[in-house]
Amino acid sequence: MSWDFQTEPEFQEQLDWMAELVREEIWPLEAIWPELGLEGLMRALAPVQERVRERGLWAAHLPPELGGQGMGQVRLGLMHEILGTSPIAPLAFGNAAPDSGNSELLAMAGSDEQKDRWLHPLLAGDLRSAFSMTEPHTPGSDPTQLATRAERDGEDWVIQGRKWFSSNASIADFLIVMAVTNPEARASQRASMFIVPTDAPGVEILRDVPTMEHPNEQFGAYGGHAEIAYESVRVPAEALLGGEGEGFILAQHRLVPGRIHHCMRWLGVARRAFDMMCERATYRHAHGSLLAQKQTVQNWIADSAAEMQAARLMTLHAAWTMDTQGASAARTQVALIKFFGAKVLHDVVDRSLQLHGSLGYSTDLPLEQMYRFARAARIYDGPDEVHRQSVARHILAGYEAPADGVPTEHLPTRRAQARERFAELLETVTAND
Ligand SMILES: Cc1cc2nc3c(=O)[nH]c(=O)nc-3n(C[C@H](O)[C@H](O)[C@H](O)COP(=O)(O)OP(=O)(O)OC[C@H]3O[C@@H](n4cnc5c(N)ncnc54)[C@H](O)[C@@H]3O)c2cc1C
């Protein structure tokens, strides 16, 4: 019997240490982050980063030979749940998106030269990166329709196309660009990835797209989502990351563990919103009682607790499946938690915001910011509908139509079959009557 829901004591100690560090050293910075700017924030985080390094928790998502811990997805997931409580905590631990996923890609598929030039400085915090795949005029949810092309010209590749929502591209030093290298190949082998320096001739970062998160977008701010024109961008053969035609396979390797980390970080956010909801219920008095005494509020609290617990167990189970059986075995579970986790995050934040009334809607509390963050979670890394579709397809593959067109559970049919099978017994029972 090996079901075991415990964290081993040594790792629990690490988690407790992380939780305290994040709460004591990082949460206080959140309130003055906009005043500090990115440079000031990084200065404030430098001593915290040092402590994280000393504790052996820096860039923990990477393999041990690159300074990571080889922790496995369950431990990483538990770590991300803590880091998710603050939007700036991942910066202190060397695993902020999109640099974390890009460093995984470089670690997995990069040549020694690519690792020296891009990965090591990325890990040291000397470079920033972006992942440039989604396009304004083709559906990101169906990347087989990508239109950006990379064509061979002698030893070089020439990239032509337009991308948008390349997060952090306007402050990045290099971009990992997904482009079609062979439009005739099977859909899964059409595209490849390229490492493109942001200052390469022909790379034009047009704007940071204003969003629900940043309606008055300022170009070049941390966390912006850039629109980029690639106008005959020439890169050498060594810019190809991994093999030609391996773009989608590499993207899958990046996305499957990345979604587990997202879901655990969302639980960190949801927990903070939940704590705010419970606190508010204990002191706000309306219509003759505390909010905590209203049944609707009790339902919100109980439902939120149940949903967060379900999402947490489902996500850790997906992580465990990945650790024990590999990424492809965990694929359907990861699709399941991607849309379920995003909904739990959204609903918990929404209830907490509602319970705070106008205060919840105001920027005096972080709930409105959490709400905007939660809305995006239903779109990036694959919209809800696509993950639901892939889960349903997988489940339905295990079913087939009944040969005679009669539902398997059809009671009159089952009764007739049972009467035939148990005729002797039925006869005895009836004879005894
Ligand atoms: C905050 C944020 C950050 C992002 N960061 C990056 C980044 O760093 N790099 C990058 O390359 N991209 C990034 N993206 C883009 C993101 O990955 C895409 O938006 C996403 O893949 C969806 O693609 P799309 O926007 O083109 O929507 P579409 O593919 O056009 O889909 C639009 C809608 O159509 C519906 N739909 C699609 N398929 C189906 C289906 N099979 N069944 C039913 N309905 C369906 C869904 O409702 C879906 O939301 C980011 C997006 C956001 C919001």
Cα→Cα distances 72→28, 46, 60, 261, 377, Å = 30, 26, 9, 12, 24
Q: What is the pLDDT of residue 31?
A: 93
The partner residues of 196 in beta bridges, in order of sequence, read: 175
Tokens of 74: 């369950």
* Ligand 1 in reach of 73 Cβ (< 6 A): no
Q: Is the peptide bond before 98 cis (omega within 30 degrees of 0)?
A: yes
- Domains of the chain from N-terminus onward: 9-110 (1.10.540.10), 129-241 (2.40.110.10), 248-396 (1.20.140.10), 402-433 (no CATH)
Q: CA 171, 172, 173 angle in degrees (round to 5)? A: 130
Angle 423-432/411-421 helices, nearest 10 degrees? Answer: 80
Q: Which residue among 142, 379, 381, 393 is best mutated to probe the pocket of ligand 1, counting the most ligand atoms within 8 A of its Cβ?
A: 379
- For ligand 1, the distance from its centroid to the CA atom of residue 137, given in whole angstroms, is 12
- For ligand 1, the distance from its centroid to the CA atom of residue 376, given in whole angstroms, is 10
Tokens of 233: 């961008």
Q: Count of CB atoms within 10 A of residue 121's CB?
A: 15
Give CA–CA dist 60/76, Å, rounded. Answer: 7
Give CA–CA dist 333/331, Å, rounded. Answer: 5
- For ligand 1, the distance from its centroid to the CA atom of residue 386, given in whole angstroms, is 9
Q: What is the pLDDT of residue 218?
A: 83
Asked if 191 and 248 count as a contact pair (C-beta separation under 8 A), the reply is yes
* Shortest-distance Cα residue to atom 13 of ligand 1: 165
Give CA–CA dist 29/41, Å, rounded. Answer: 8
* Ligand 1 in reach of 164 Cβ (< 6 A): no
**What is the per-residue pLDDT across 248-289, written as a single tens digit (0 to 9) for each?**
999 988 888 899 999 999 999 999 999 999 999 999 999 999
Beta strands 174-180 and 191-197: pairing type?
A: antiparallel
Q: What is the pLDDT of residue 375?
A: 98
* Shortest-distance Cα residue to atom 12 of ligand 1: 134
- For ligand 1, the distance from its centroid to the CA atom of residue 263, given in whole angstroms, is 17
* Ligand 1 in reach of 100 Cβ (< 6 A): no
Taking the chain (433 residues) in consecutive chunks of 10 residues, what is each chunk's mean pLDDT? 89 97 97 91 96 93 77 94 96 92 92 96 92 97 95 97 98 98 95 98 97 88 95 98 96 88 97 98 97 98 98 97 92 97 98 98 97 97 96 97 96 98 94 68
Phi and psi torsions of 150, nearest 5°: -125, 120
Q: At residue 75, what is the residue type?
A: R
Output the pTM of the full model.
Answer: 0.94
The partner residues of 176 in beta bridges, in order of sequence, read: 131, 195
Q: What is the pLDDT of residue 3?
A: 85
Q: CA 366, 369, 370 angle in degrees (round to 5)? A: 85
Q: Which of 177, 176, 197 is nearest to 102 (CA)?
A: 176
Residues with Cβ within 8 Å of residue 21, at least 6 apart in sequence: 48, 51, 52, 92
- Please tell me whether residue 167 adopts helix, strand or coil conformation: strand
- For ligand 1, the distance from its centroid to the CA atom of residue 145, given in whole angstroms, is 13
- For ligand 1, the distance from its centroid to the CA atom of residue 195, given in whole angstroms, is 23
* Ligand 1 in reach of 379 Cβ (< 6 A): yes
- Count Cα atoms within 13 angstroms, Cβ side, for 249: 11
* Ligand 1 in reach of 165 Cβ (< 6 A): yes
Q: At residue 163, what is the residue type?
A: K
* Shortest-distance Cα residue to atom 49 of ligand 1: 383
* Ligand 1 in reach of 224 Cβ (< 6 A): no
Q: What is the pLDDT of residue 255?
A: 86
- For ligand 1, the distance from its centroid to the CA atom of residue 143, given in whole angstroms, is 10
